[in-house]
């Protein structure tokens, strides 16, 4: 198992390091929609701050919860064969 330790190693997969040696320009998006450019330790394009749900109005908070946790689908009613005329499909049963 030969392991290559050169500059092409990072091109094959992600960078295998936990600390980056420089700071990268990142766009920080606040909860009110305003943006700030700052230097961040990881190479990312956008950082979004989490929204505090306790400051939202009650209707908007419930709407956000409904989007995150949708209700379960209702079970479909099973079809019954009572109203179907089986003689119309008789030609498909014969060999």
pLDDT of residue 13: 63
The whole-angstrom separation of Cα 27 and Cα 47 is 6
Buried b (16+ CB within 10 A) or exposed e, 30-53: eeeeeeeeeeeeeeeeeeeeeeee
pLDDT of residue 35: 92
**51-74 pLDDT per residue, tens:** 887 888 899 889 988 888 888 888
Residue 1 pLDDT greater than 90, yes or no: no
Residue 28 pLDDT greater than 60, yes or no: yes
**74-89 pLDDT per residue, tens:** 888 887 777 788 788 8
Which tokens in the block code for residue 66?
A: 């409904």
């Amino acid at each position: 198992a030969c392991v290559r330790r050169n500059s092409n190693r990072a091109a094959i997969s992600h960078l295998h390091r936990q600390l980056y040696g420089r700071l990268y320009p990142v766009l920080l998006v606040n909860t009110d929609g305003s943006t700030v450019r700052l230097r961040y330790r990881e190479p990312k394009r956008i950082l979004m701050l989490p929204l505090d749900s306790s400051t939202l109005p009650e209707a908007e908070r419930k709407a956000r919860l409904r989007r995150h946790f949708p209700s379960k689908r209702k079970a479909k009613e099973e079809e019954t064969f009572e109203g179907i005329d089986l003689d119309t499909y008789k030609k498909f049963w014969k060999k």
